[in-house]
Structure 1
Amino acid sequence: MYHFNRVCFGLRCSPYLAMKTVKRLARDETDFPIASEIASDHLYMDDLGVSVDTPENGIQLAHDFIELFKRGGFDLVKFVSNSPEVLKSIPQANRLSSKIEFDKEDNMKLLGLIWSPVEDEFSIAIKFNPQAKCTKRLMLSTIAKLWDINGFCAPVILHAKLLIKALWVAQIDWDTEPPSDICAAWKRFLSELPALQDFKIPRFVGIVPESRVILLGFADASEKAMGASVYIFVQPASGPNEVNLIGAKSKVAPLK
C-alpha cells in the first residue's frame, strides 16, 4: 500500500487539498498574523493579490509571506509589484522577472486579467480565431475563454450569453451551423471583440487613509436579461473625489 507525502497536482481532489493545506498552514503559524490572515482569505488557487498603504508595509508583508510559506515547505515565487522599492527588497529568485523596472509590455496575469505594473491598470485577455466556423461547439469554446471574474465587461459577456441562449432555443447540434441570423450576430461579435483589448481598468480606486468611502449599487432587468453593478465613491480628506466600477454581474432571463 502506498500513500502520498506531498500534495499532488492533477488529481480531482488537488484544488481542494492545495487550498486546505494553505488554510491549515495559515491557522497554525501564528508568528505572522497579518500574512496568515491574508493567505487564508485572499488566495485563489495559486494567485495571491493584496494591496498595502506604503512600500514599508509591502516590504514587511512580502518578507512575512516568504517565511510563512517556507514553514509549510512552499517556495513563494513570482512576486511582482508596482513599487520598485518593494521589488528590490525581495530576493531575486522569488521575483517574477529579473528586471526591477518594468516596461509597459511587461504584463502579468492575475485571475484571468492582465495587469500592467508600470501603468497599474487591468486589461482583458482576448484569444480567439476570427476565421473559425460558426458552429455551436466553436462558439461555446470561444465564449468560455472570456474570463471576466469582476464583471468589468459584463455587457459584452451578456451578449455572448444571449447567443448561447439562442443556440439552445434553436436546438442546434454541436457541429451544425446555426441559422443565418445567429451566424451574422456571431460574426459581428467576433469583429468587435478585439476592441476589448483597449479597455483599461485602474487597479487603484483612490482609497487613502481618512477617506470617506461609499458603495453605490445599481440593478435593472428586461425581458432578455438582468444585471447589477457596484461602484465605489471615494472622498479623500484632500483632493478630487473618485468613482470607479468594482464589480458587475449579468444573467440571461429564463425561457419561462
Structure 2
Amino acid sequence: MAGHSQFKNIMHRKGAQDARRGRQFAKLIREITVSAKQGLPDPAANPRLRAAIQAARKENMPKDTVDRAIKKAATGGGGGDDYIEVRYEGYAPHGVAVIVEALTDNRNRTASEVRASFNKYGGALGETNSVSFMFDRLSVIRFPLASASADDMLEAAIEAGADNVESTDEFHEVTGAPDSLAAMQDALESRFGAPDTAKFDWRPRVSVPLDEDAATSVFKLLDVLDELDDVQNVYANFDLPESVLQKLSA
C-alpha cells in the first residue's frame, strides 16, 4: 500500500475526527450535487452519481443527507452548475509527486490556496502534466471478500473488461481503464451486489521511500491540501514501511 491509501489511513486514525468528518461530508455532498447536475439525478443511469453515493455510504453519511443533496440538484438548488473540475500537480518535500483534484466555483481562489500550501510547506506547484506521467489513471472497484470467491471475481471481472483483480484477506479489488468504470460496475453489481467503492484513482508507477522524519514533513503538506474546502482528492507517490505507518497513525 503506497501514497494516497497510506495517507488516508493515517488521517482516519488520528484525532479531530468530528471536524474531519464534517469536511469529508461537505466534499461528498459537493460531488453528489455536481454528479447529479452533470448527468441524471438517477444513480441507476448515472455511474458517477452512483459512485459518489457509494463513497458517502462508506463514510456513514445518513441516507436522508444523500437524498436531500440529490433532490436539491434535481430541482436546481445546491449549486453544481458553476463548479469546474481542476487538477493541480507539483512536488512535496523529498521529491514526492503530488496530484490534487478540486471542484471549484472560483478557479483563482483555489489556485491561490493550493499554491500557498505548496509554498508554505516546502513543496513546489508545477504545470499540468508535470507529474501525472508518474501515475496511472485507473477505474477501481472494491468488493467485500465475502461477496465472491477469488476465482469467481476474477472470471467475472475479465468478462466485464477489467485489466486486473487483486484479492486480499479483506477485499477484492478490480481495476481497469478509466473509460471502463461504468461497464465494469454494471456487470459486477448485477452478479455480486453493490461494491464498497467504485471510483477513479491515480496509482503511482514508482514510489519514493520515506523514513519517519521525511514522511512527517510530506504529510504536513498533504494534510493542509486535503483540508482545503475545494480539494476533493490528494494523491502522492510515497511509500512507508509498516513500522513508520503505525507510528504516524498513533
The TM-score normalised by the length of structure 2 is 0.27
Higher RCO (C-alpha under 8 Å, 6+ residues apart): 2
The TM-score normalised by the length of structure 1 is 0.26
**Between Structure 1 and Structure 2, which shows a larger proportion of helix residues?**
2
